[in-house]
């Protein structure tokens, strides 16, 4: 079997990538939760891409289980690419005295989730230090920041009031 390139929570097809999502749609290849990767055998993925998903997981075990699952299904030479809202940057923007109340509300929604449905709540916040801690505790090495993955047109590239708000990380098993 050729190794998979797995896009968790993806919304658009990209050649060579397979999408895992908890909500079924025409672009979804695998239906399921990122916290339960039991449908995938060990070391079946060469790459895992996950943009603005991990913040929706609880820091009381769900996040750890998910990252351990990523580690299990990645090949030893694989690569994990994660993008999450950078809480440090969002807090700096939020605390800016130049922002008007509607702008602060906009940033607040990015911190806590838009809360438009049951899936749109943020349960965990990250800066580099916190995310690196979770990743290394789950067996990942070489945890590095990157400005851009240059893969998908998604929130990993999002700028708010001129600031890139995503923490983009590449790690290896």
16-42: buried (b, 16+ CB within 10 Å) or exposed (e) per residue? ebbbbbbeeeeebeeeeebbebeebee
Count CB-CB contacts under 10 A for residue 62: 17
Q: Are 120 and 160 in contact (CB under 8 A)?
A: no
The 10 Å Cβ neighbour count of residue 81 is 19
CATH H-level, domain 4-85+123-157+164-172: superfamily: Vaccinia Virus protein VP39 (3.40.50.150)
Q: What ranges do the domains of the chain cover? A: 4-85+123-157+164-172
pLDDT at 64: 98
What whole-number distance in Å separates Cα of residue 34 and Cα of residue 151?
20
Supply the pLDDT for residue 2. Answer: 86
The angle formed by the CA atoms of residues 169, 170 and 171, to the nearest 5 degrees, is: 120
pLDDT averaged per 10 residues in sequence order, the chain, 173 residues: 93 95 95 97 98 95 97 98 98 96 95 88 96 98 95 94 97 97
Report the predicted TM-score, pTM, of the whole model to 2 decimal places. Answer: 0.94
User: Tokens for 54?
Assistant: 């991990």
The whole-number pLDDT of residue 48 equals 99
Distance CA 2, CA 108 (A): 42
- The Cα–Cα gap between 109 and 148 comes to 23
Q: Is 72 helix (H, G, I), strand (E, B) or coil?
A: helix
């Amino acid at each position: 079997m050729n190794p998979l390139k797995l896009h968790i929570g993806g919304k658009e097809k990209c050649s060579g990538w397979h999408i895992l999502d908890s909500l079924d749609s025409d672009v979804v290849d695998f239906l399921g939760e990122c916290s339960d990767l039991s449908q995938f055998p060990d070391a079946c993925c060469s790459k895992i891409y996950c943009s603005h998903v991990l913040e929706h997981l609880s820091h009381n075990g769900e996040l750890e289980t998910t990252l351990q699952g990523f580690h299990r299904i990645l090949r030893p030479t694989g690569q994990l690419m994660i993008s999450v809202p950078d809480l440090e940057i969002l807090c700096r923007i939020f605390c800016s005295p130049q922002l008007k109340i509607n702008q602060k509300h906009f940033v607040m929604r990015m911190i806590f989730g838009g809360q438009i449905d049951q899936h749109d709540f943020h349960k965990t916040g990250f800066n580099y230090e916190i995310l690196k801690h979770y990743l290394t505790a789950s067996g990942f090495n070489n945890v590095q920041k990157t400005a851009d993955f240059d893969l998908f047109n998604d929130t990993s590239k999002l700028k708010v009031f001129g600031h890139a708000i995503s923490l983009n990380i590449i790690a290896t098993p």
